[in-house]
Structure 1
Amino acid sequence: MSIVEINFDGLIGPSHNYAGLSLGNLASAKNAGHISQPRAAALQGLEKMRANLHLGLTQGLFLPQPRPADAWLAEVGTTIMEADPAIAANAMSASSMWAANAATVSPAPDTADGKCHLTVANLRTMPHRSHEWVATLAQLRLAFASSAFAVHGPVPPAFGDEGAANHMRLAPSHGEAGVEVFVYGVSGGPFPARQHVEASKAIARLHQLGDRAIFAAQSEEAIAAGAFHNDVVAVANGPVLFAHEKAFEDKAPLLAALDARVPGFELVEVPDAEVSLADAIKSYLFNSQLLTLPGGEMALVCPTECAETPSVKAWIDRHLASNGAIRRVEFVDVRQSMANGGGPACLRLRVQCDPADVDPRFLVDDAKLDRLAAVVGAHWPEEIDGRELQSETLVATIRKARLAVIDALNLNELTSS
């Protein structure tokens, strides 16, 4: 078995709009009511996937979910045309594009049964995301149908689980056994803590991690500042933890455990005095993709907002000049996603596995990305005004667009899910 890391990006769906549905997500709230550009958003996401391919990485994707979410609307006794506008907005969200919230993943070297385990996130805290898990699970079970994987349904909804955005794995390399850090919230001022420790512990048991699981509380100050997920203030790759100084409530025992249990562990900490929490959250420095390139060096794929935030750009320049753990920084334009509160890392789910075990329809190359770009260009709406989400014409366009991409990838099993 040849284990590599595959980043599965969510293809940004044709219903991408700015409804401001995510409490605690400052960008989402700030841009509520603005005109969105679904076509540009999806093309930006495809170009990010292409850029990672050209770095020599293996790249996958997940498809947009059915929108409107008709099954969910039926459960609350209405339809998209009859629903209250607030309910309609929750049924038209394209937030499944943020694949970091799709599931939590534990690769085979960490699990007692030697399988790669995935548990779909229940996302129960926010109504617009709480209905995603059904369609997400359908894709996970199709993409990872091989016996090399164990795909689990959601943790019971009494316990909030928001997936890999609150989970980090540290190991000498992707193919070696590692330690998995589950970061949970307690409170965060006016904002809810979305990841419950009970959910994290349940997933660790389902994944048969034993003593390979570590549980750490997210900083209340960070949550209150707008770090609604851990991946807004910390990210790990290989033996490196890249984190803001104020990411964790009590970092000393976490760092001691990682230093003792991860060979070659290295902390790259950004001091609050150099990059404030506000600048880190505004730029999404830590919501970048921290990746190991084929040559072994570590790269950071950042949103262009990092280059435009003076304190962040200055820190990046100093770190590169110091020959630190991160040796290369690439900037990508995902402004449409950023305006709704999701950076490069939000858009992807990391799965360490043998690519031969994955359904190839979920893996991409340049030719497939070209084909998808053509579908997006032909079918995705150019703009969406959030006040028109119940337009019959818009709804028909969105439904037709999703069917077109399903057809382009020959994934007809997903037509109704």
Structure 2
Amino acid sequence: MPLIEINFDGIVGPTHNYAGLSLGNLAATRNAGSVSRPRAAALQGIAKMRANIALGLAQGVLLPHRRPDRAWLAALATTPEDAAPALLANALSASPMWAANAATVSPAPDTADKRCHLTVANLVTMPHRSHEWPETLAQLRLAFADRTRFAVNGPVPPPFGDEGAANHMRMATAHDAPGVEIFVYGVPGGPFPARQHVEASRAIARLHGLDAQRTLFVQQSEQAIAAGAFHNDVVAVANGPVLFAHELAFADKEGFYADLRRLMPEAEIVEVPASRVSLADAIASYLFNAQLVTLPGGEMALILPGEARANPAVWNWLQDMVAGNGPIRRLEVVDVRESMANGGGPACLRLRVVADPATIDPRFLVDDAKLDRLEAVIAAHWPETIDPAGFASPSLWQQAAAAREELLTALDLAALA
């Protein structure tokens, strides 16, 4: 079977909460202390996956991690019962749901050894995410166990921050054709931390064996980071030969665009002008944190959160775009409001992997029937609400553990328990 793009969505975990842990993520900090709805959040994620399948897209899943993370707390010489409230909040975070931060992926056509490379992100900048990588790595090594087709690499060492595919774009004439890989990094100095270090990006490019002549390292604009674009995928997304970006996304857009066109003359750049959509509106609506996908018929679609439709400036610009003769021809709106309230849109929830599905562990691939089973588990076992004031409740920890165990059983993945 030819190589195709598969979207692996993170299933929203049973401890999904609004603790406001992510500095620079405006939605997360704005909703700190609010009551979350883990069951609704997870069911919204399932509905998004169903919508993708209905569009003819291949769909996979990544699973929630153990929460609270007792091993991480033990390394800090404490337990959930004794941990300070701030540590307990970090140990309970359901942030692995945002699979775009799981790893950086280079498909086989781009790499020296012609294997698909996945390097797990270290996520060292934020304490609540810094302890994700061991469980993520275990899942990736199980899902992509065929070592003749895949290389699943451990993280870049600290202090070089790497936040995965959220700061990486790939452009190609087709998914199975050689591509141009674009690593977007930040520079410290503004009010919020720059999470992707250029040294980490360069290390990953070397580890993946990428052609230096077809690899770009591009600085994200400090203006975008200061406005709340904590990852590049909040202000830019690419698919096939198309780059969809805000006018203010990059520090040197003219230089970047010139390099891109030199390497890929077929590239089409769809730029949203700041005069039509401000950075504030783009970030609040997650216009760019959308899934830009190629449908089976070759048409390109943008899968957007409902917040993009609710923003007049954003929606008016999108209507003008699709009325024109550009490469993006279709808009699909999904409801992921519970994830959005914590700072993660449709693109945050998925990791893109270009591969032959037959080479992937089928337990990580889903269809409607499997989603029916997962939906039933979530409806029966996920907490309906979580109040941050109740983080210290052992009954919450027990419910979360039991819910995750039921999910692993439904997927025949007890090996991850």
Q: TM-score range, shorter-chain basis?
A: over 0.9
1:329 alignment partner, SS class: strand
1:142 positional shift: 0.2
Match of 1:57 in 2: 57
Indicate the residue corresponding to 1:74 in structure 2.
74
SS in 2 for 1:403: helix
Shift of 1:210: 2.3
Q: How does 1:262-411 map to 2 (within 5 A)?
A: 262-411=264-413
Q: Distance in 2 between matches of 1:235 and 1:184?
A: 14
Q: Among residues 217, 236, 239, which one is paired with 2:238 in the alignment?
A: 236
- 3-state DSSP of counterpart to 1:191: coil
Matches within 5 A, 1:7-406: 7-146=7-146, 147-187=148-188, 189-211=190-212, 212-406=214-408
What is the rounded CA distance, in whole Å, between the counterparts of 2:284 and 2:415 in structure 1? 39
* Residue 187 of structure 1: how far off its partner (Å): 2.6
Aligned to 2:128, the other structure's residue is in SS state helix
Q: Distance in 2 between matches of 1:264 and 1:205?
A: 26
The C-alpha deviation readout for 1:164-204, integer Å capped at 9, x for no partner, is 00000000010000100000000352100000000000000
3-state SS in 2 of match to 1:81: coil
SS of residue paired to 1:155: coil
Q: How far apart, in 2, do the equivalents of 1:261 and 1:239 lie?
A: 11
Give per-residue Cα distances to partners, 1:269-306, cap 9 Å, x unaligned. Answer: 00000000000000000000000000001000000000
Q: 1:361 touches 1:411 (CA, 8 Å); kept in 2?
A: yes
Shift of 1:263: 4.2
| Residue 257 (structure 1) shift | 1.4
Counterpart contact for 1:239–1:263, Cα < 8 Å: no
Work out whether residues 292 and 299 of structure 1, in 8 Å CA contact, stay in contact via their aligned partners in 2.
Answer: yes
Secondary structure of 1:236's aligned partner: strand
Q: Which 4+ residue blocks in structure 1 deviate beyond 2 angstroms?
A: none
Distance in 1, matches of 2:57 and 2:304, equals: 16
The 1-side partners of 2:158 and 2:344 are apart by 24
Contact kept in structure 2, 1:172 and 1:263, CA below 8 Å:
no
Matches of 2:328 and 2:34, distance apart in 1: 36
Alpha-carbon displacement from aligned partner over 1:193-250 (angstroms, at most 9, x marks no partner): 0000000000000000022211000000000000000000000000000000000000
Q: Is residue 188–residue 221 contact of structure 1 (8 Å, CA) maintained in 2?
A: no
**Aligned equivalents of 1:285 and 1:187: distance in 2?**
25
Q: What secondary structure does 2:351 align onto?
A: strand
Q: For the residues of structure 2 that align with 1:408 and 1:23, how far apart are their CA atoms?
A: 35
Q: Distance in 1 between matches of 2:2 and 2:359?
A: 10
Whichever residue aligns with residue 311 of structure 2, its letter is T
Equivalent residues of 1:6, 1:353 under 8 A apart: yes
For each residue in 1:131-178, what CA deviation from the matched residue of structure 2 results, as whole angstroms up to 9, or x when unmatched?
000000000000000120000000001100000000000000100001
Q: Matches of 1:232 and 1:126 in 2, distance apart? A: 18
Mapped partners of 1:138, 1:75: distance in 2: 19
CA shift, 1:412, in A, is 1.0
Once residues 167 and 364 of structure 2 are traced to their aligned partners in structure 1, the CA distance between those partners, rounded to angstroms, is 24
How many residue pairs align between the two structures?
415
2:254 & 2:203 partners in 1: Cα distance? 24
Unaligned runs of 5+ in 1: none
Taking every aligned residue pair, what percent have the same amino acid on both sides?
Answer: 68
Question: 2: CA distance between counterparts of 1:265 and 1:163?
Answer: 23
Contact 1:188 1:223 in 2 (8 A): no
- Is residue 216–residue 248 contact of structure 1 (8 Å, CA) maintained in 2? yes
Distance (Å, rounded) in 2 between the aligned partners of 1:333 and 1:363: 22
Q: Alignment RMSD, CA only?
A: 0.7
SS at match of 1:368: helix
Letter in 1 for 2:392: Q
User: Does the aligned pair in 2 maintain the 1:68–1:91 contact within 8 Å?
Assistant: yes
Unpaired runs of at least 5, structure 2: none
CA contact (8 A) 1:188 1:224 kept: no
Question: 2: CA distance between counterparts of 1:90 and 1:234?
Answer: 29
